[in-house]
Structure 1
């Protein structure tokens, strides 16, 4: 199973600096990283910072979290099938929502091969102090990237006074009390801190977060033991709390030869017939999802 880190953060926050420094630390430890990088434009500017000997896949002209989701799955499958590496680092574009980015990399096709250690959000400390000047939509995305992190790097601390540093740390801790916070400059974070992250706790069947360790955003892999009635399953979906953001995978449905491709997003449901017999599993993404009882899984 490959450990996966998802680097999030607003445009210009310092994600690429974090990436290059993390690569350096991994190589010094004898570990080989692979990189999946997302850029909105046609040219891969950030990827120029990655050494040629490191497996690299790029998503250009599209966001990893929306229209690029299927392409992302294809890139990940190529990496897993054709490259030897120890750790996967995914650097999202500054315009990516972390929940949707995590959804894009959690295909049921290879969910059992990936162990997402957590979402690391690099926070531009100067931008945090001036967040009220941002347009409402931009400010909302900026805050969402922070709210869903497992680890927050309060970056650019070298540009702030002691009082400003204390203010930012206190405010970030209040805004996302589940995340650890460290103060950084130039995006440098000790590898030992990243390795201690426990964004998910996996089993072969159901991913149950340990009591007291459930973080702001977690995932759960559910295997089905029996087919479900489609209408009854949809009735169950309508009872789900708003803290369940995403589900996708293959659900065995009574009367259907193969498990159906299933997607759930913020209350919206989509079913599609599948002409190949896929493993009946779904991935759930949300908050406080470990105890939800899924029909057909027991």
Structure 2
């Protein structure tokens, strides 16, 4: 099996310290001899934080929008471009502060990328004072809680802006939302990146093949299933609907038993949408699923039921 490139998403609201942490992570990765690519998303026309990225690091910028909405397709294309041009070990994606994590992961796991990437995890950076005081709109509170909820690692940054004795309260409030994520306090995002890749942290730098272990430690599960035979649309829809855990998205390229050809499949909110693909293109017949607490063993033993052996 060919080597896959790790994908790590950096999340957090504006001014939390994502870019500073990213710069520290890049330095660490380079010392380990790993080749890094970076994609930075900015809502405005100019990305000031690009100056923090070393000039020899492959960098792509997505401006004037958010990777979880109007730039979702562009993010997939930029990942493909980095993979085609550079030999990389990891791509760090710094999302805009307004990004929703499920949609960002969705954009990173396009079916055409499934054979080439591994979702290694999500790091969310929290501004300690902002989180503690909670002086923000209801909409923003909901967004920040979502960024914490789906993170594998939470960095409580800018601890120098609050009293030292408030750390326990901060950690407790975050654990109420995400009891599984690893939590680290920091000042100026100055944290030893080696901690992120230790055995006690969900994000690890080893390369895995397509097994349960590749994804089991992540808060948001992403699994890829490959099909050897055409699928039955109704059985697949029933299979997706009855999966244990919380399924957010499913997508892939499939052949269906009721009609010849290859189709792009998208599943959300309980229904399947199929779009016929152009001929003479080599689409991988596979399905990518994204969710929480998904039972891999159940899925791998029941996925054969949706296929029709000719």
Structure 1 residue runs without a partner (length 5+): none
State the shift of 1:41 in Å.
Answer: 1.1
What's 2:237 paired with?
234
Pick the aligned partner of 1:150 from 148, 152, 156: 152
Q: What are the within-5 Å matches in structure 2 for residues 190-205 of structure 1?
A: 190-196=192-198, 197-198=201-202, 203-204=209-210
CA distance in 1, matches of 2:266, 2:256: 14
Pick the aligned partner of 1:16 from 7, 14, 19: 19
State the shift of 1:296 in Å.
Answer: 3.4
State the shift of 1:30 in Å.
Answer: 2.7
What per-residue deviation string (whole Å, max 9, x for no partner) do you get for residues 131-186 of structure 1? 2x321211111100000000010111122212211210122123211101111111
Q: What are the within-5 Å matches in structure 2 for residues 69-218 of structure 1?
A: 69-131=72-134, 133-196=135-198, 197-198=201-202, 203-204=209-210, 207-209=211-213, 214-218=217-221
Distance 1:153 1:226, change over 3 A: same
Work out whether residues 226 and 296 of structure 1, in 8 Å CA contact, stay in contact via their aligned partners in 2. no
State the shift of 1:297 in Å.
Answer: 6.3
State the shift of 1:214 in Å.
Answer: 4.4
What's 2:246 paired with?
243
CA distance in 2, matches of 1:225, 1:136: 47
CA distance in 1, matches of 2:269, 2:255: 22
Work out whether residues 10 and 123 of structure 1, in 8 Å CA contact, stay in contact via their aligned partners in 2. yes
CA distance in 1, matches of 2:307, 2:69: 29
State the shift of 1:15 in Å.
Answer: 0.3
Distance 1:246 1:21, change over 3 A: same
Q: Count how many residue pairs are aligned between Structure 1 and Structure 2.
A: 294
Distance 1:228 1:5, change over 3 A: same
Work out whether residues 214 and 288 of structure 1, in 8 Å CA contact, stay in contact via their aligned partners in 2. no
TM-score scaled by length of structure 2: 0.87
Aligned CA RMSD, in angstroms, stands at 2.3
Q: What is the DSSP-based 3-state SS (H/G/I as helix, E as strand, rest coil) of the residue aligned with 1:10?
A: coil
Distance 1:228 1:297, change over 3 A: closer
CA distance in 2, matches of 1:136, 1:143: 11
CA distance in 1, matches of 2:29, 2:219: 26
Is 1:285 the counterpart of 2:283? The answer is no
Pick the aligned partner of 2:42 from 22, 39, 48: 39
Work out whether residues 252 and 266 of structure 2, in 8 Å CA contact, stay in contact via their aligned partners in 1. yes
Work out whether residues 149 and 178 of structure 2, in 8 Å CA contact, stay in contact via their aligned partners in 1. yes
Pick the aligned partner of 1:51 from 51, 54, 78: 54
Work out whether residues 44 and 63 of structure 2, in 8 Å CA contact, stay in contact via their aligned partners in 1. yes
Work out whether residues 223 and 290 of structure 2, in 8 Å CA contact, stay in contact via their aligned partners in 1. yes
Q: What is the DSSP-based 3-state SS (H/G/I as helix, E as strand, rest coil) of the residue aligned with 2:75?
A: helix
State the shift of 1:268 in Å.
Answer: 4.7
Structure 2 residue runs without a partner (length 5+): none
What per-residue deviation string (whole Å, max 9, x for no partner) do you get for residues 14-61 of structure 1? 101101111122223332211011111111222222122110011111
Distance 1:17 1:82, change over 3 A: same
What per-residue deviation string (whole Å, max 9, x for no partner) do you get for residues 199-240 of structure 1? 699544xx42589x5442111111112212223323333334
Is 1:296 the counterpart of 2:306? The answer is yes
TM-score scaled by length of structure 1: 0.90
